[in-house]
Each structure stands twice: as structure tokens, then as C-alpha cells.
């Protein structure tokens, strides 16, 4: 079994299939975005490894299904406790691997990963009950039955948090699982795989296969042995996955990108608005929910911009392991080049870049300066496409109707932020905003009971509460007649 030593722990670099670590001949090189440090070579799987994993998950399925919500819940709760006990290690390895802030991993992200597992284990035991109802003396019994093998494909921007957000409900629902993590961030998934074994999860219930999307991911989504595909990632990949799923009519859920608006109404508390706008640079802008289009009422734009630029120019960019750092590096040289491409093309088109607009030369490496583009052409790609970096655009509006029209004038519909001083005014705007999640005078407040997902090209389906189980389970109605009984 191959492994690497990272942050004081030994992490296997092979897949976990049927409770065993399996190394592939081919490998993927893994480096840290913080300083380019070589972290290790991870196994790179393809159709062969996926086939082994799907078969293992299919064999493990009936016994896992038959454990029922309480039996599964006991193991899942142990798993959640193990994550909690290993928050520090998980935070350290995730930061090394994806460059997001260590303090957010410690305080928010890793505890949330544990909560993702515990919440759905409890929900499956307590909430998945539907009162029987009668039709002309016949009784309807609605149940959520395990569906089989769930294929879970995840991105690199919040690797373990996003993976557990799928693993929790899938396993609690009684499905067995194959996780295909993003190729740039395999570490936390491998450490987590060890925790599933320590929690007593039977072999084959949770499997992880590392490898490129075009090989391991494609083989997984095409496989006829899977019953669900849950994907978080980009729109172009989602289109490929939707086509693969269509072949076997496998149900899919897609959590995709966004170009969300942050709307500052004329009655907004501008200090609050500027603070919320600064939060859109979190995780170096590599957040699907980020409100990257700042739409500001023309009467307050000067005051807002002054407050915003003042805060933005004081942002502490640097090593994500340091407590005072607010913005860390981008994930990978290819991704940095993509961000630079967007900004350079905008510059050539004459965009007014009032802040940042280039890599941070002092820090070097993968650090890109927090950037603000003023009033770009509303048809330009920088205003329409997801940059997925620390690049915000600002536009002004003259009235509510215009604000709403601008906010909805996008192919995405993931999230929106509205900043207003009057409840009625905010409600007037939120009513017709097209987005899966809207925050009013706040950002990133999340509750696992709430639905989460995107409208339009930001996705298909919703996670959270019973919505997750509606996807991972087969919802069944058993109608029992009053007649025909011999007892």
C-alpha cells in the first residue's frame, strides 16, 4: 500500500475499494497551491478501477440497506465523531492541498463536514416518515427506499465539505457510494476513507476512486451498475455527465456554477454592504455562491465604492496557514492562467479595473490580487461568465425594476445577496429574483434543513433536509387494499 506523509499523518495514495487500498500503475502528481511543494503521487484510476468499485458497492448494498436507518445511523454517528476528533489534521491537510484558509477549515468547514454526516443520519431516523392516508378504504404507505449505488463527483474548492454533503444523505438513505474526488485535491478524501473503516463501515459501502474526470469520472457516470449520479462542478462537465446519464436514464443532481448578484439598494447600510461585498473574495473567489456582480444604486455608488475600495485595499493576502490571512492562493497554475485570461481580455476591451487586475507580484506563486472591474460592458464575458477567482464587477442601476432585470439577466441562478434598510423593500426585490438561495443583509448563513441548489444553468435538483432523500432514495407508495386478507 503506497502512502505519503503529510502534516504528521500517513495518507494512503491508493483507491479504497471493498475495504482494501488498491494502487494503480498510473499516478497523478499532487502539489500544494501555497508554494508548489510536491505532496505526492496519487493513484490514477480508470474504467478497470471503477468497475471493481461498482461491483463492490453492489455486493455491499443489500446488507447496508437491511441495516435500516438506525443501524446505519450508529455507524454514521461514529464517523461524524471521528471527523470531529480529527478536525485539526483534516484542516491542515485540506489547506495544504487546496490553499483555502486554515482557520476557516478549523472553525467552519471541517465541523460542517462532520455535521453533514451526523445531520442526515439523524434525519433518516427521525424525519423520513409519512403519515399513511386512505383512499376508499385503501391505505397509502409512502417510504423512501435505498436506491442502490450512488456515484458522487466533486470539485476542488471545498473538497471534503462538498463530498460529505453528498456522502451523508446517500449513506443515510441506504445507498452504497463511490466517490470520485477532484484530481487536484485527493488528500482529505483519502484520510476520510480511513475514517469510514475505523467507524466500522462494512467493506464496499464507501469506496473512493482517484483519477482524471475524463477517465475515472467518465467511466463512473457511464456505468450501468449505478443508480444515482450526484455532481458538483462546472457547467461544461455537467453537460457531458448529463449525456452519459441519459444513456442509462440514471437520475442526476447537478450543483453548478454561478454569477450571482449582490444588490445594494439605495436605503442599504453601506458599511454592511461593503463588508458583505468583501466576503465575496472568500476562498480567493473560488466559491460557487460568490456574489461577483455588485449591482449598486446610482445614488449611493460613490459612497459604497469608497468604503469597498478602502476595505479591499487593506485585505491581507498571503499564506493561508497564517491566522491573519484573508485571501490565499488560487488552486493551480492552470486556474490562475484562466483568471488572468479573463481580466486581460476585459482590459483589452477597455474595462476600467480600479483595483488589482494582476497576480500579486510580491507574493509570486499562485496569488492573484483581489480585483474590481468598474462598469464593464454588460455583454462582456467578464460580466457574464463565472471567473471563479477574486474578480468582482460593479454596475449601477437607477430603480428597483432595473436592479431586478439586471440581477436576473444571466444564465445562472445559484444565489443572490440583497442589502437594504427596509424589510418591505428587500421583500419586493427577493420576490422575483431567480436564485436557489437568497441572503438578505447577510451571506453564507446555511442550515442543513434548508433546500440548496441552483436555478437555470446553476443546476438541477436540491439538496438539504428531505430534498436530499428524495434524490438518493426511491420514493415508493405501497397501497394496501382492505380486502383479500385470510388472517
Q: Which residues form the catalytic set?
A: 255, 288
Binding mask 427-466 for ligand NAD (x = CB under 6 A): ---------------------------x----x-------
Give the helix, strand, coil percentages of the chain, each rounded to 5.
40, 25, 35
DSSP state letters, 428-481: HHHHT---SEEEES-S----TTS-B--EETTEES-BSHHHHHHHHEEEEEEEE-
What residue has cell string 488528500?
A: 187
CB of 179 to ligand NAD, least distance (A): 9
CB of 46 to ligand NAD, least distance (A): 12
With vertex at residue 386, the alpha carbon angle to CA 383 and CA 388, rounded to the nearest 5 degrees, is: 120
Give every CB contact of residue 485 below 8 A, 6+ residues apart in sequence: none
Binding mask 277-296 for ligand NAD (x = CB under 6 A): -----------x--------
Nearer to ligand NAD, 208 or 241 (CB): 241
Task: Please report whether residue 213 would count as binding ligand NAD according to CB under 6 A.
Answer: yes
Length of the chain: 487
Task: Please report whether residue 221 would count as binding ligand NAD according to CB under 6 A.
Answer: yes
CA atoms within 13 A on the CB side of 122: 12
Task: Please report whether residue 257 would count as binding ligand NAD according to CB under 6 A.
Answer: yes
| Alpha-carbon dihedral sign for residues 348, 349, 354, 356 | negative
Among 122-130, 201-209, 210-218, 477-485, which window interacts with ligand NAD (CB under 6 A)? 210-218
| Total number of residues that touch ligand NAD (CB under 6 A) | 29
Binding mask 152-191 for ligand NAD (x = CB under 6 A): -xxxxx----x-----------------x-xx--------
Task: Please report whether residue 233 would count as binding ligand NAD according to CB under 6 A.
Answer: yes
- Partner residues linked to 255 by β-bridges: 232, 459
Among 2-10, 117-125, 251-259, 479-487, which window interacts with ligand NAD (CB under 6 A)? 251-259
CB of 413 to ligand NAD, least distance (A): 11
For residue 357, the 8-state DSSP code is -
Count Cβ neighbours within 10 Å for each residue of 342-361 and write b for 16 or more, e otherwise: bbeebeeeebebbbbbebbe
Task: Please report whether residue 390 would count as binding ligand NAD according to CB under 6 A.
Answer: no
CB of 2 to ligand NAD, least distance (A): 21
Task: Please report whether residue 43 would count as binding ligand NAD according to CB under 6 A.
Answer: no
For residue 399, the 8-state DSSP code is S
Nearer to ligand NAD, 233 or 318 (CB): 233
**Backbone phi, then psi, for 125, in 5-degree steps?**
-75, -40
* Residue of minimal Cβ distance to ligand NAD: 213
Q: Smallest Cα–Cα separation from 186: which of 1, 388, 5, 13?
A: 13
Q: CA 218 to CA 241: how far, in whole Å? A: 7
Among 217-225, 355-363, 369-377, 395-403, which window interacts with ligand NAD (CB under 6 A)? 217-225
Task: Please report whether residue 240 would count as binding ligand NAD according to CB under 6 A.
Answer: yes
Of residues 111 through 150, those in contact with ligand NAD by CB under 6 A are: none
At 453, list the grid cell.
441548489
What residue has cell string 490553499?
A: 99
Applying CB under 6 A, among 339, 386, 387, 426 the residue interacting with ligand NAD is 386
Calculate the CA 302 to chain-centre distance.
Answer: 34
Chain residues that interact with ligand NAD, rule: CB under 6 A: 153-157, 162, 180, 182-183, 213-214, 217-218, 221, 232-234, 237, 240-241, 255-257, 288, 386, 388, 414, 454, 459
Amino acid at each position: 500500500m503506497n502512502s505519503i506523509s503529510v502534516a504528521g499523518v500517513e495518507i494512503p495514495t491508493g483507491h479504497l475499494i471493498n475495504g482494501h487500498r488498491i494502487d494503480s500503475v498510473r499516478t497523478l502528481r499532487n502539489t500544494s497551491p501555497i508554494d508548489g511543494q510536491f505532496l505526492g503521487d496519487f493513484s490514477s484510476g480508470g474504467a478497470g478501477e471503477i468497475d471493481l468499485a461498482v461491483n463492490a458497492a453492489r455486493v455491499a448494498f443489500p446488507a447496508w440497506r437491511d441495516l435500516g436507518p438506525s443501524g446505519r445511523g450508529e455507524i454514521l454517528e461514529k464517523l461524524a465523531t471521528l471527523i470531529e476528533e480529527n478536525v485539526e489534521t483534516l484542516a491542515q491537510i485540506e489547506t495544504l492541498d487546496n490553499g483555502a484558509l486554515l482557520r476557516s477549515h478549523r472553525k467552519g468547514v471541517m465541523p460542517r463536514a462532520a455535521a453533514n454526516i451526523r445531520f442526515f443520519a439523524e434525519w433518516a431516523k427521525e424525519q423520513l416518515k409519512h403519515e399513511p392516508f386512505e383512499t376508499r378504504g385503501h391505505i397509502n404507505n409512502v417510504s423512501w427506499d435505498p436506491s442502490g449505488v450512488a456515484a458522487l463527483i466533486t470539485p476542488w474548492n471545498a473538497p471534503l465539505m462538498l463530498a460529505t454533503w453528498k456522502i451523508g444523505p446517500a449513506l443515510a438513505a441506504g445507498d452504497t457510494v463511490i466517490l470520485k474526488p477532484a484530481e487536484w485535491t485527493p488528500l482529505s478524501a483519502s484520510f476520510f476513507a480511513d475514517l469510514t473503516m475505523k467507524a466500522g463501515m462494512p467493506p464496499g459501502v464507501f469506496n473512493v476512486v482517484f483519477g482524471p474526470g475524463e477517465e475515472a469520472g467518465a467511466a463512473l457516470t457511464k456505468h450501468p451498475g449505478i443508480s444515482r449520479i450526484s455532481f458538483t462542478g462546472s457547467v461544461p462537465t455537467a453537460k457531458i455527465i448529463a449525456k452519459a446519464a441519459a444513456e442509462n436514464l440514471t437520475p442526476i443532481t447537478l450543483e453548478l456554477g454561478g454569477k450571482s448578484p449582490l444588490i445594494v439598494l439605495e436605503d442599504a447600510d453601506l458599511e454592511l454592504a461593503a463588508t458583505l461585498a468583501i466576503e465575496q473574495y472568500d476562498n480567493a473567489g473560488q466559491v460557487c455562491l460568490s456574489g461577483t456582480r455588485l449591482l449598486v444604486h446610482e445614488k449611493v455608488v460613490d459612497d459604497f465604492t469608497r468604503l469597498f475600495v478602502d476595505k479591499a485595499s487593506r485585505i491581507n493576502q498571503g499564506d493561508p496557514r497564517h491566522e491573519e490571512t484573508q485571501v490565499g492562493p488560487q488552486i493551480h497554475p492552470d486556474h490562475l492562467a484562466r483568471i488572468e485570461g479573463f481580466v486581460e481580455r476585459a482590459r483589452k476591451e477597455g474595462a476600467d479595473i480600479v483595483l488589482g487586475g494582476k497576480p500579486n507580484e510580491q507574493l509570486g506563486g499562485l496569488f492573484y490580487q483581489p480585483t474590481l472591474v468598474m462598469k464593464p460592458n454588460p455583454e462582456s464575458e467578464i460580466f457574464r461568465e463565472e471567473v471563479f477567482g477574486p474578480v468582482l464587477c460593479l454596475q449601477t442601476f437607477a430603480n428597483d425594476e432595473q436592479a431586478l432585470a439586471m440581477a436576473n439577466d444571466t444564465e445562472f441562478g445559484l444565489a443572490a445577496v440583497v442589502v437594504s434598510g427596509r424589510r418591505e423593500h428587500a421583500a419586493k426585490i427577493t420576490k422575483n429574483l431567480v436564485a436557489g438561495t437568497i441572503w438578505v443583509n447577510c451571506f453564507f448563513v446555511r442550515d442543513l434543513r434548508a433546500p440548496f441548489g441552483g436555478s437555470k444553468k446553476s443546476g438541477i435538483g436540491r439538496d438539504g433536509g428531505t430534498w436530499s432523500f428524495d434524490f438518493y432514495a426511491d420514493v415508493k407508495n405501497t397501497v394496501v387494499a382492505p380486502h383479500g386478507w385470510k388472517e
